[in-house]
Amino acid sequence: MDKYWFREKPSHMRWGRGKAIRGGTGSDLVQPLQGESLHHVAFNTDEFDTMVRKFHRAGFEPLLLAKAYVPTYGGTARACHFDTRAEGAPQSQRR
């Protein structure tokens, strides 16, 4: 069963998705159809929990947590999206 949390509250999401993989690089095209969603740059890691803790210790709060079946991977995948917009903002607007 797919599970989603948006700003630490249970959420429902539905989207259309396309994926392409060539060599070790993959691209996702995501179209939000229902629920909370966001645009992102993602990286795969074999150490998901370690990376989530590392971002959290650096001061980034999770916006979206997901645990969902992904047909392309043939199994369940976990994702955590952090709001890093302030890192690209002018120095005067950073946290």
User: How many angstroms separate the Cα of 15 from the Cα of each of 6, 34, 45, 78, 82?
Assistant: 15, 7, 23, 16, 19
Segment 9-37, tens digit of pLDDT: 888 877 777 777 777 767 776 777 776 65
One-letter amino acid at 90 equals P
Say how far apart CA 73 and CA 81 lie, in whole Å: 19
Nearest to 4 by CA among 74, 80, 82, 85: 80
Structural domain boundaries in the chain? 3-93
What would the pLDDT profile of 38-56 be if each residue is shown by its tens digit? 566 777 788 999 999 999 8
Burial of 55 (0-12, 13-18, 19+ CB in 10 A): middle
